[in-house]
Each structure stands twice: as structure tokens, then as C-alpha cells.
Amino acid sequence: MRKLQQYTPEFRAEAVKLVLEQGLSQGEAAKRLAISKGTLANWVVVAKGKAGAAAPGARSAAELEVENARLRKELAEARMERDILKKATAYFARESLPGTRS
């Protein structure tokens, strides 16, 4: 009977990083770590599944792009309103000075 090898979560995470972040093939990473390719493949699938299952409150890239566009529009409107208020303030300040009324 073959004893199952137990790997620490840290070891598994590092093994998955070799594939997902450093771009090694699963076969090459498995060979370097002296583990089976199938075991590493299972870890990668689980890691990708966890990455795909976003944390509560996380939003997709499309949602973030929509929000970014909305915020850019709001910022443009706020800047326009600010510029109008600056001009109005300057106009009324000039009008309130003695001797400047027409």
C-alpha cells in the first residue's frame, strides 16, 4: 500500500505560483519540485477556481470600467461647475468694488 504524501499549503501555493505567475509549464514545475504532474494540475485548477470566485464585494473588470466612466463624467461636470463659479465670483467681486460699476 502506498502512503499518500502530505504537502503544506505554503508548498502548494508556491508550486501554483511557478505555473501561474512565473509561466513554467506544469510538467517543468512538477519536475523541479519532484511531484506528479497530475497533483500539480489539480492544485492549479483549484487555485484558478478560487481566483475566479471573487471575494465578497469584489467587482468584475467590466463593472469597474463602467464605474470609472461614470466617475470621469462626474469629474468633468464638477470641474465645469467649479470654473463657472470661479468666473461668477470674479465677476461679482469686480462689481462690488467701489468705482468699478458701469
| 82: containing domain | 61-102
Same domain membership, residue 67 and residue 43: no
What distance in Å separates the CA atoms of residue 21 and residue 42, rounded to the nearest whole number? Answer: 16
Q: Which conformational region is residue 34 in: left (phi greater than 0), alpha (psi within -120 to 50 degrees), or beta? A: left
Same domain membership, residue 34 and residue 14: yes
What distance in Å separates the CA atoms of residue 50 and residue 92, rounded to the nearest whole number? Answer: 60
Average pLDDT (92-96) is 89
Same domain membership, residue 101 and residue 84: yes
What's the domain count of the chain?
2
- pTM score, whole prediction: 0.47
Report pLDDT for 56: 56
Please classify residue 95 by burial: count the beta carbons closer than 10 Å to its beta carbon, then call 0-12 exposed, 13-18 middle and 19+ buried.
Answer: exposed
Q: Which of 92, 96, 95, 72 lies closest to 84 in space, CA to CA?
A: 92
In a domain, 1, yes or no: no
Per residue in 22-79, pLDDT (tens digit) is: 888 999 999 999 999 999 999 998 888 776 555 556 677 888 899 999 999 999 999 9
